[in-house]
Amino acid sequence: DTGVSQDPRHKITKRGQNVTFRCDPISEHNRLYWYRQTLGQGPEFLTYFQNEAQLEKSRLLSDRFSAERPKGSFSTLEIQRTEQGDSAMYLCASSTTAEGGDQPQHFGDGTRLSIL
């Protein structure tokens, strides 16, 4: 168990630029989640995948946001035309619905996005 890995850890970009984050879940986990956390608040759900299928998206996820998990392993979260309000910590988590018993989410250390 190498844990959930997120890259990059920090991203600074100018308003209007596109950014892409990557998440590598725990290898045997079939579910992958994206959350956004702003200062002083708890994580807010954005979207989740079961294997390669994106099963749910929050209303928080505007058209500028897109997430993929093409082969059911790693996932990417892209934000197009970034805005000041996108500045936040983006957290990835994975879990499993294995026959041996469901396991709760394990979180990565997040990608902190700062929009100049």
Partner 1 sequence: AQSVTQLGSHVSVSEGALVLLRCNYSSSVPPYLFWYVQYPNQGLQLLLKYTSAATLVKGINGFEAEFKKSETSFHLTKPSAHMSDAAEYFCAVSLHNAGKSTFGDGTTLTVKP
Binding flag, residue 56, partner 1 (CB under 8 A): yes
Structure tokens at 51: 């294997």
Which residues have a Cβ under 8 Å from the Cβ of 100 and sit 6 or more positions away? none
CB 11 within 8 A of CB 19: yes
Choose the binding region for partner 1 from 11-19, 64-72, 77-85, 103-111 (rule: CB under 8 A).
Answer: 103-111
Binding characters for partner 1, 16-55, by CB under 8 A (x = yes): ---------------x-x------xxxxxx--x-------
- In this structure, what DSSP letter does residue 73 have? S
Minimum CB separation of residue 16 from partner 1 in Å reads 26
Binding flag, residue 102, partner 1 (CB under 8 A): yes
Specify the residue for token string 């928080």: 60
CB 22 within 8 A of CB 75: yes
The site for partner 1 (CB under 8 A) is made up of 4, 6, 31, 33, 40-45, 48, 56, 91, 93, 95-97, 101-110, 112
